[in-house]
Structure 1
Amino acid sequence: MRKTLYIIGLSTVVFSCTSQQNAKKRQYIPKTPSIQQKATAQTPAEKPKPKITSDHGVEFFTTNIADITKNDNTASYGSIVSAKPAGYKVVKDYFPAIAQNFRQRYLILHYTALPDDKSITVLTQQAVSAHYLVNNTGDNQIYQLVDENKRAYHAGVSAWRADKNLNDTSIGIEIVNTGYTTDASGKRIFAPFDDAQIKKVAALVKDIVNRYQIPATNILAHSDIAPTRKQDPGPLFPWKKLYDEYQIGMWYDEAQKQSYYDLATSTDFQLQYNDPTFIFNVQTQLQKFGYALDLSGKWDDATKKTIEAFQYHFRPQNYDGIMDAETFAILQALVLKYPLK
């Protein structure tokens, strides 16, 4: 009996061991699959940014890495101004962000209505200023009076298109010129500009508008942005010469102007002149071009002065403030060429 039980027990042990060995043999060991990676587009490595340069502890960044087509610009035309918070360190590990542009969006031209020496005194010692003063002394010097990064007090109460208070967004250039006198009939007689002085102005304007990408529509007379108050730089300032010879500022296309003129003179222009609908249309066109003007439907004082300012700039042969057929044709040609965006 014991022998029988011994044989049965031994058989059980052998069977159990054999089963475990077979289980080990049958144990599933997953294979590591050979996965082929799909080809993916490689993201180009970010280009290293130009380094900030330092000179005697003052930092500069003079390379544009932003999108110039969006009028963005990361270059600095001066030192980088940074905060210095107590107990903390301002770092420029991620400088500069590409979404930025210049404060300087307008360039405004003035005359001083004073001779050279008095112009310097007034613009440096009184409550008015400009970034630059172009003298009339026959030398090659142009006086800088205010840092381009700072506001100068030259525009005063002002507006153009959607913008107001243009001191905030402009560079002002004063040109030494005695302005105007008034004849017996009350007509303003303006002083001419010297050719050598205009060459200075052209070179200065060209440099500024190229650096800040200032568009032609934003190169303006003081009289454009404050037509009810100002006349400078007046009708003898050579806007067409700057446009033709230096590609500075705005001017109309002669063929387009002639087309509008022919249309105006083919109808009885004078008959509709005092019609409120026509006056409203004239005011609307002046407003569309850029002038800040209320649409009153009347030939009020503000409208007449605005027309006069427009004529100073674009029709200087006659600046009587009357919207004749030629002035209206020029206005329409300019609105077509330089539409509001």
Structure 2
Amino acid sequence: MRKTLYIIGLSTCVFSCTSQPNVKKNTYKPKTPVVQAKPAVKPATPEPPKPKIISDHGVEFFTTNIADPTKNDNTASYGSIVSAKPAGYKVVKTYFPAIAQNFRQRYLILHYTALPDDKSITVLTQQAVSAHYLVNNTGDNDIYQLVDENKRSYHAGVSSWRNDKNLNDTSIGIEIVNTGYTTDGSGKRIFAAFSDEQVRKVAALAKDIIVRYQIPATNVLAHADIAPTRKQDPGPMFPWKKLYDEYQIGMWYDEATKQNFFDLAQLDFTTRYNEPSFIFLIQTALQKFGYGVDPSGQWDDATKKTIEAFQYHFRPQNYSGIMDAETWAILQALNQKYPIK
């Protein structure tokens, strides 16, 4: 009996052991270290070498633009480089020039002298008024320079255009010998003509200045434009359209656009001429174009003189100072063509 029980117990143990699932032994495997790829190091882009400063007899010049011309920036120097000379120290140009710069000369303003040649020279060189250039009327090829372009000349006086004031600070002035105007029996101003030789001189001079200083068309102006309540020059006889057509100088309107506005303007002048809201609209358009007129809703003296200055420049056939449909159409066409940026 004891033997029988032993055999049964042994069989149970064998059955129990053989019925257990196979258990895998845990085998230690060392982790493989993750190696992160190093970011590729871009080779440093060397700065392009700046053009050299030119030295001539101890005077330094830099005549290359390395700034951004699309932003109207320019590092070129149209004259010698002016540098400080601090006592005990040396000013070096190791990093010259910085690209963040542009010209002071942003405007070109045209005038007439209202004097003959000899008196024009005397006044512009010996009195408290000046210009950078004087265009004579003697029939030769000479143009007189009176002031360094890098310096302010006293030609604009109290002045403004768009967002800028005191334009002596930012302009080059050209005076043209011309006797100005006389007054007829009705009080109308009769202006003297400019000779063809003078116009060619002015065009060549203006073109050179405009190209060098990248002066936009909206900044090529008459003295009357920037000071309409006190100045008339260069007056309605100055051929602005000729300069625009033949030399691409300054502003002018497109005839088709003007005609479109003119067709609409005639009705306005028949029904709305004396309405304060309409007068305010015209004054605002003059201001938007660039003139320093304050909208008042009235045909006041300042507005009349501003319209007159506008007509000198853009409608010289009629410079009455009275806004009419054609003048209004021209103003709207110009505002569309030359918006403030």
- Same structural fold, with TM-score higher than 0.5 when normalized by the shorter chain: yes
For residues 268 and 151 of structure 1, do their structure 2 counterparts lie closer, same or farther at Cα, with a shift above 3 Å needed? closer
Aligned twin of 2:14? none
Aligned twin of 1:291? 291
For residues 93 and 184 of structure 1, do their structure 2 counterparts lie closer, same or farther at Cα, with a shift above 3 Å needed? same
Aligned twin of 2:81? 80
The size of the alignment, in residue pairs, is 308
Q: TM-score, normalised by structure 2?
A: 0.88
Tell me the alpha carbon deviations over residues 289-316 of structure 1, each in whole angstroms, 9 at most, x when there is no partner: 0000111110000000000000000000
Aligned twin of 2:240? 239
Aligned twin of 2:186? 185
CA drift of 1:86 comes to 1.1
Aligned twin of 1:334? 334
Aligned twin of 1:167? 168
CA drift of 1:169 comes to 0.2
CA drift of 1:38 comes to 4.7
Kindly provide the amino acid, as one letter, of the partner of residue 77 in structure 2. Answer: S
Kindly provide the amino acid, as one letter, of the partner of residue 322 in structure 2. Answer: I
Kindly provide the amino acid, as one letter, of the partner of residue 233 in structure 2. Answer: D
Aligned twin of 2:12? none
Kindly provide the amino acid, as one letter, of the partner of residue 169 in structure 1. Answer: T
CA drift of 1:42 comes to 3.7
Give distance in 2, aligned partners of 1:40 and 1:299. 70
Q: Within 5 Å, give how 1:106-255 maps onto structure 2.
A: 106-255=107-256
Tell me the alpha carbon deviations over residues 48-107 of structure 1, each in whole angstroms, 9 at most, x when there is no partner: 111111111111111111111111111001111111111111110000000000000000
Q: Within 5 Å, give how 1:4-43 maps onto structure 2.
A: 38-43=39-44
Give distance in 2, aligned partners of 1:259 and 1:124. 48
Aligned twin of 2:319? 319
Aligned twin of 1:3? none
The secondary structure found in structure 1 opposite 2:261 is: helix
Q: Name the % identity.
A: 82
5+ residue gaps, structure 1: 1-32
Q: Which runs of 4+ in 1 moved over 3 A?
A: 33-43
Q: Aligned-pair RMSD on alpha carbons?
A: 1.3
Q: Is 1:93 matched with 2:94?
A: yes
The secondary structure found in structure 1 opposite 2:271 is: coil
Kindly provide the amino acid, as one letter, of the partner of residue 160 in structure 1. Answer: W
Aligned twin of 1:102? 103
Give distance in 2, aligned partners of 1:296 and 1:134. 39
CA drift of 1:184 comes to 0.4
Q: Is 1:68 matched with 2:69?
A: yes
5+ residue gaps, structure 2: 1-33
Give distance in 2, aligned partners of 1:242 and 1:268. 32
The secondary structure found in structure 1 opposite 2:297 is: coil
Aligned twin of 1:30? none
Q: TM-score, normalised by structure 1?
A: 0.88
Tell me the alpha carbon deviations over residues 170-218 of structure 1, each in whole angstroms, 9 at most, x when there is no partner: 0000000000000000000000000111000000000000000000000
Give distance in 1, aligned partners of 2:321 and 2:35. 86
CA drift of 1:44 comes to 2.7
